[in-house]
Every structure is written in C-alpha cells, then in structure tokens.
Amino acid sequence: MTQIPDLLLEPMVRHALHEDLGAWGDVTTRAVIPATTRYAARINAREAGVVSGMQIAAIAFRLVDPSLTVTTRLADGAPCAPGDTLMEIEGAAASILSAERVALNFAGRLSGIATLTAGFVKETAGTATRVTCTRKTTPGLRAAEKLAVLHGGGFNHRYGLSDAILIKDNHIAAAGGIRAALQAATAAASHMLKIEIEVDTLDQLAEVLEVGGADVVLLDNMSTPDLARAVEMVSGRLVTEASGNMRRERVAEVCATGVDYVSSGALTHSARTLDLGLDF
C-alpha cells in the first residue's frame, strides 16, 4: 500500500473538517444523537473500481474523535466490487456522523482518480510505457490526488514548479527561442535538477537535439505517426513524454510508438467520483 506520512495529509483534512463543521459543529447530530450512543459503521463500495483515500478517511475520523476504532478492510490501491466493505469505524455515533461527509468526499474523489488511472494503465499492457499525471489538480488537494494516481498504477510527474525545469511553449517564446531557453536553463540548473522541454513539431525536436542540455522532451499534441518518428529521432538520448488531449481510447496506439511516458491531465481533472457510502 502506497502512503505518505499522515503529517503531510492532515492539514488538508483538517481544513475540510473546519469547512464542514463551521463555527458550531454538527448541530443536527448534537441535537438528535445522545453522546452515549455507540455504533459500528462501514464504508461500502456501491460500484466497482480501485480504492484510494482510505488513509485520508481514517485521518478524518481520528481528527474528529481519536477514540474511534478505524479498521481498513480494503487498502488503497486494491480493487473493489459492489458491496465490498472498505473500512469499518466503531465508537461514538455522533463522532462518526460528524466526520462522515468529509471522509466520503475524499474517498470517493480519490477512488475515482485511481479507477480512471487504472483504466489508462490497462491500455499500456505489453509495452514499457508509463502513465503519468500532470499539475492539473484541484487547488489544495494535489498531494492527495497525485497519491491516488499512484494507487491506480500510474506515476507522478513533477509535483510543482520547484522540483524540475519544464520549458513550455510560452517560456520558449518569452526567452527568444529553443536555443536561448535551453542554454539559460542548463546554465541555471544544478546537477540534481532535470530539464524537460516541450516541442510541437519534429523541426523543433531536431533543434532540441542539436542544442542539447535537455533530459526529457515533451511531445505535445503530435499525431501518432509523428510520435513514432520522434521516438526514432531521439533514439534513446532523451526520455520521451507524449502529451496533449490524451484519451484512454488513444493510449494503446500511442504506447505502440515506443514513447516512455503518456501524460494526461484528465486523470485528475476529469475523473468521476466513485460511488461509496457509509452504512450503519
């Protein structure tokens, strides 16, 4: 099971709980549920998919009430079928009800991302191509959404603007061209900072190969024949990434060109929430 420390996820969960509980807490539960009432609840899958968000759901329940007993039955990254129990929560009914919606919002959203990613990954069968996400994430939820991509069998692109140099078309235009942008990047980069550059045409790729300095080339919105030709031109000298409107139905033919990575913003910006419910 792929996890990151709770410490890194807790702030976003705490913020979501503050948003939901407001200034006075769960007034409905406080009004109608005696504080002494105890219950056992279950998060159940109502459709098939790939599980993600169990780590975060557990954080939500424990932040509301550390005395709750939370048991994960299907770990993040596991497949689920309709009716499967993903998590059991035991303790004060009021605490369970107060954390329910935040836990389900995260778990459903992240399981949807993991499920969509797994679908993309399935299309790469028989090839060495990897599926990766982008920075097209929900503001404030990037760590959780990128983690969900890993649960679906995908890989992570750079996390943000600070951990890699990615020279895109607007950078090239503002810098004065491919040569100027690459030369400036290589002069500024440390030995630990990789450089990726975006190209739209095979002529631009030829210039990148001539100038040198890049570690990765992003082949943006190219036709499948052009992607195949680009892989031939690169001939293993750079890591190749195909991007731009990558849909699941096109992934297999793109992988057949021999590219190293297929990146898709859809994994995080267009995933449908998986239907999960909490049952008493």
Q: Which residue out of 76, 84, 198, 260 is catalytically annotated? A: 198
| Bridge partners, residue 45, by sequence | 276
168 labelled catalytic: yes
Distance from C-alpha of 226 to C-alpha of 222, rounded to nearest angstrom: 6
Residue 269 carries which side chain, given as an amino acid letter? Answer: H
Q: Which residue out of 135, 136, 194, 229 is catalytically annotated? A: 136
Q: How far is CA 82 from the centre of its chain?
A: 23
Q: Which residue out of 73, 101, 130, 158 is catalytically annotated? A: 101
169 labelled catalytic: no
Residue ranges in the chain assigned as alpha helix (H): 6-21, 27-32, 54-64, 93-122, 142-151, 169-175, 178-188, 202-211, 224-234, 248-255, 266-269
Q: Does the CA dihedral 199-204-205-209 come out positive or negative?
A: negative
Q: Which residue out of 100, 220, 241, 260 is catalytically annotated? A: 220
Q: Which residue out of 30, 38, 163, 168 is catalytically annotated? A: 168
Distance from C-alpha of 276 to C-alpha of 254, rounded to nearest angstrom: 33
146 labelled catalytic: no
Phi, psi of 54 (to 5 degrees): -70, -40
220 labelled catalytic: yes
194 labelled catalytic: no
212-216 long-range contacts, Cβ below 8 Å, gap at least 24? 212/182, 213/182, 213/183, 213/185, 213/186, 214/182, 214/238, 215/239, 216/240, 216/241
Catalytic residue numbers? Answer: 101, 136, 168, 198, 220
